[in-house]
Amino acid sequence: MTNNSYHVPVLLDASIEALNLGDGGGNWMDATFGGGGHSRMIISNLNDEGHLFGFDQDPDAKKNSIEDSRFTLVEANFRYAKQFLNLNGVKSLDGILVDLGVSSHQFDTAERGFSLRMDGPLDMRMNHSSGRSASELIEDSTWEELMVVLRMYGEVNRPDKLASTIKAASDNSPIKTTNDLVKVLSKYAPTGKENKFYAQVFQALRIEVNDELGALRELLEQATLLLKPGGRLAIISYHSLEDRLVKHFMRSGNFEDKVEKDIKGQTLAPFSQVVRKAIVATPEEVLDNPRSRSARLRIAERTTYTPEAC
Domain ranges of the chain: 3-104+212-302, 113-210
Length, in residues, of the chain: 310
- Per-residue model confidence (pLDDT) at position 4: 52
Which pLDDT score is estimated for 253?
96
Each residue's pLDDT expressed in tens, for the chain with a length of 310 residues: 445 545 679 999 999 999 999 999 999 999 999 999 999 999 999 999 999 999 999 888 899 999 999 999 999 999 999 999 999 899 999 999 999 988 554 544 545 555 666 789 999 998 877 789 999 999 999 999 999 999 999 999 999 999 999 999 999 999 999 999 999 999 999 999 999 999 999 999 999 999 999 999 999 999 999 999 999 999 999 999 999 999 999 999 999 999 999 898 888 999 999 999 999 999 999 999 988 999 999 999 999 999 876 6
**Quick count: other Cβ atoms within 10 Å of Cβ 240?**
12
On the question of a common fold for 3-104+212-302 and 113-210, the answer reads no
Surface-to-core class of residue 32, CB atoms within 10 Å of its CB (0-12 exposed, 13-18 middle, 19+ buried): buried
Instruction: Please state the pTM of the whole predicted model.
Output: 0.91
What pLDDT is stored for residue 7 in this prediction? 62
pLDDT of residue 220: 98
pLDDT at site 107 = 47
Asked if CATH classification 3.40.50.170 holds for the domain at 3-104+212-302, the reply, yes or no, is no
* Three-point CA angle 71, 76, 80, nearest 5°: 100
Contacts of 215 (CB under 8 A, 6+ apart): 77, 78, 79
The pLDDT value given to residue 126: 87
Topology (CATH level 3) of domain 113-210: DNA polymerase; domain 1 (1.10.150)
User: What whole-number distance in Å separates Cα of residue 56 and Cα of residue 69?
Assistant: 18
Distance CA 25, CA 94 (A): 9
For residue 151, what is the DSSP state? I
Going from the C-alpha of 13 to that of each of 32, 181, 203, 274, the distances in angstroms are 16, 38, 28, 16
Could you give the CA distance from residue 215 to residue 224 in angstroms, rounded to a whole number? Answer: 15
